[in-house]
A and B are shown apart, each in its own frame.
Chain A
Amino acid sequence: MSNTLASVQETLRQRARTLLEDGTITYLIGWEAGRFEGQTTPLILRKAADVDRLIYNEFCVHILAKYPLSDKNIEGTIGVVVRGCDSRGINLALKDGQIKRDKLYLIGIPCEGMKDARTGQELKKCLQCTHRNPVVYDELIGDAVEDGAKVDRFAEVAQLESLSVDERYDYWAAIFSRCIRCKACRDTCPSCTCRECFTDQAAMGWQGKETSLAENQNYGITRMFHIGERCIECGECERVCPVRLPLMQLNRKIIKDAYELFGEFYAGIDDCTPHPLDHYLLDDVEEFM
């Protein structure tokens, strides 16, 4: 079976129709076309009759992993189209006990990378993707593709590490001075699943509402540490940022440090392996104690 996008879309529509008609799923989370060429938007497909709205092309840039979490007490089953990134997000949610596996029906699609409709170029997050094939699914459409990042995903971090402390401070100060605190990075992040985010706990005052460099940095750094090595590297935080901040450089720094201290680790490739920082071993590095 060939993996042309058109054939994948055709099969996906057929399967969606069947699954909705036979009651396997209550609705399917996929994508539909936007107004403009190459523009797509997530779709909640409820009726088999609307199945032609469902699309799959090289511009399906949004991660879908977080959507089922807003309906975790559903009586039926949520169908979700998953690629590598989506499936890792789902695994993370399963591991965290955010949703039960039997509430989900996962249609996997091996993904060769998505493109920015404006530039026609493959997205940076996709070039840096290590797991293109879904790591959890109920059925798979298309043949497996070759896994592995197309670029060195730690190159930017290595470059930043070569700078002096002052240079690094200036670099991040310039970036966070542009943050508008829309919180889109948090809201799209499959690792951010707290029922109540620290930034919204106004009475506690963890996070002030001023858009000042200090508050913006507090937001960015605290978020980075909260996610830690749980980042599934979907790169959505960077894609959604309206002012184009290179936020993945922060997450990758943590991942790189975690690799160096605890060995190679990929969050969300299954729903059971403990994460480096959610348990301890007697021979753990503890250079600060």
Chain B
Amino acid sequence: MILKKEKLGSLLDMLAGTATVLVPTAFNAEGGSEGGEKATGFLPYQAGSAVDLGTVKTTRSPKDALLPQTETLYSYEQRGEDVTLTETVNNTNQILFGVRSCDAYSIACLDEVFLTRTFVDTLYYERRLGTLIVGLGCTATERSCFCTSFELDPAVAPGVDIQLTDAGDGYFAEALTTKGTEALDAWKPFLTEGTKPTPAELEFTFKLDTAKLGEQLKTMFEDPYWQDLSMKCLGCGTCAFVCPSCYCFDMSQNNKGSEGYRFRTWDSCTFVDYSMMAGFHNPRPTKMKRLRNRFMHKLCFYQERYGNSLCCGCGRCIELCPVGIDISRVIEDVERVVAHD
């Protein structure tokens, strides 16, 4: 079935009446500090929103929808001898609309972390259960896109409920899960008959061989390579915060008198206080150890535990790292460093 592009607005209007629809939108339509440079993210759709399905990768990934940067875990209140604890319950009902393969793959990585291997993170589970994901096949690439290096298919987003494929003046919509099939029923008034187009042949600026990456990295933990790479790292959290699959969080509380709440926030392994322990011992006291951990976790440790890479090849960190640290070049360097040893 085909969703004509002219019907997209009406469909989103209808969907917005049933759920929160998060859709790629420019959040500074006037352009940024350098003028004209837009930053984009998945914002709640409202009638008249400047929907931007053309941007290949949004500045902010859809990660926020499932793992908000700040999320209250529970609140507490003490009155005399009585203590009341109030758990947070997420009654999520949202549609993530226009998710690309890289971001969908990343959500699958988050699912592994928060939902499998003995522990189910309740807050994540509630959000995930209440989320319908509508994927969108890519018809173009940006210079830093390299999802195919991790065997992703830019035309089909893994794990999504409904997949959209660009068909010129419309999108071919197909359900890939039971949840998607049910949801697509409600779309019917906006759909017309049509056949699935052949996905566009995409050109990528580069493709990397990542088959042996995890094994190779294990052999170069002590290599001086990390020292010079980390010298130019600022130690900021841009890479982790724009990354669709980085999931580390920290927990703190805001306390006022006898009441307060405990919350979690995104954290970044490049921050000094990330690995700070009680008593102020820091097992990763240097920038080198912190940056090395970032790449080891992305490309080796996660794979050891879950079997796949924690990098999806979206290239956001490549574009936004203030000092041009480029994970794709690190991957190439690994090959070179290991060959020289």
Binding site for B on A (CB under 8 A): 34-36, 39-44, 46, 62, 67, 70-71, 116, 118-119, 121, 123-124, 178, 180-184, 186-188, 200, 202, 208-212, 236, 238-248
Residue of A with least CB distance to B227: A44
B39 within 8 A of A: yes
Contact with A along B23-64 (1 / 0, CB 8 A): 000011000111111010000000000000000000110000
Contacting residues, chain A, for B273 (C-beta < 8 A): 200, 202
Q: Can you list 8 A-B pairs with a CB-CB distance of less than 8 A?
A: A42-B324, A180-B241, A200-B271, A200-B273, A208-B254, A242-B39, A243-B28, A243-B59
B residues near A247, Cβ cutoff 8 Å: 33
- Of the candidates A41, A71, A119, A180, the one whose C-beta lies within 8 Å of that of B69 is A180
Check if A119 sits within 8 Å of B70, measured CB to CB.
no
| 7 additional contacts (CB under 8 A) given A36-B144, A116-B34, A187-B235 | A41-B232, A71-B231, A123-B34, A183-B236, A186-B236, A202-B276, A247-B33
B38 to chain A, nearest CB (A): 8
Interface size of B by Cβ–Cβ distance < 8 Å? 49
Does A244 lie within 8 Å of B39, measured CB to CB?
yes
Residue on A with the closest CB to B144? A36
Distance from B335 Cβ to chain A, minimum over Cβ atoms (Å): 15
* In the bound complex, CA of A3 to CA of B32 (Å): 32
B261 closest partner in A (C-beta): A210
Q: How far is the CB of B194 from chain A (nearest CB, A)?
A: 37
| Residues of B contacting A208 in the complex (Cβ-Cβ under 8 angstroms) | 252, 254
Contact between A67 and B322, CB atoms less than 8 A apart: no
Query: Does the CB pair B37–A244 fall under 8 Å?
Result: yes
A182→B237 CA distance, assembly (Å): 4
Which residues of A sit under 8 angstroms from B33, Cβ to Cβ? 124, 238, 241, 244-248
What residues of chain A lie closer than 8 Å to B206, measured between beta carbons?
A: 35
In the bound assembly, the distance between CA atoms of A46 and B328 in angstroms comes to 23
Q: How far is the CB of A124 from chain B (nearest CB, A)?
A: 6
A243 near B39 with CB under 8 A, answer yes
Which residues of B have CB within 8 Å of A210?
Answer: 70, 252, 254, 263, 265
Shortest CB–CB separation between residue B142 and chain A, in angstroms?
Answer: 10
Across-interface contacts of A40 in B (CB, < 8 A): 324
Taking Cβ atoms with an 8 Å cutoff, the residues of B that contact A are 27-28, 32-37, 39, 59-60, 69-70, 143-144, 205-206, 228, 231-232, 234-238, 240-242, 250, 252, 254, 263, 265-266, 268, 271-273, 276, 287, 318, 320, 322-326, 328-329
Which residues of the partner chain A approach B325 to less than 8 Å between Cβ atoms?
41
How many angstroms from the CA of A178 to the CA of B41 in the assembled complex? 11
User: Closest CB of chain B to A262's CB: distance in Å?
Assistant: 28
- Contact between B324 and A39 (Cβ–Cβ < 8 Å)? yes
Chain B positions within 8 Å of A178 at CB level? 27-28, 39
Q: Please give the distance in Å from B126's CB to the nearest CB on chain A.
A: 20
For A119, the chain B residues whose CB sits under 8 A away are: 34, 36-37
A202 to B280 alpha-carbon distance, docked (Å): 11
- Interchain CA distance A123-B32 in the complex, whole Å: 13
A244, B297: Cα distance in complex, Å:
28
- When distances are taken between beta carbons in the complex, the residues of chain A under 8 Å from B39 are 178, 242-244
Minimum Cβ distance to chain A for residue B243 (Å) = 11
Judge whether B69 and A35 touch: CB under 8 Å: no
Complex A-B, nearest 3 residue pairs according to Cβ-Cβ distance, in ascending order: A244-B32, A41-B324, A240-B322
Give the shortest distance, in Å, between B37 (CB) and chain A (any CB). Answer: 6
Q: Which residues of B contact A124 (CB under 8 A)?
A: 33-35
Q: Return the chain B residue nearest A71 by Cβ.
A: B231
A242 with B238: CB separation less than 8 A? yes
In angstroms, Cα B34 to Cα A123, docked, is: 7
What distance in Å separates the Cβ of B323 from its nearest Cβ neighbour in chain A? 6
Give Cα distance in the complex from A6 to B105, angstroms: 44
Q: Are B70 and A211 in contact (CB under 8 A)?
A: yes
**CB < 8 Å: which of A71, A182, A200 contacts B268?**
A182
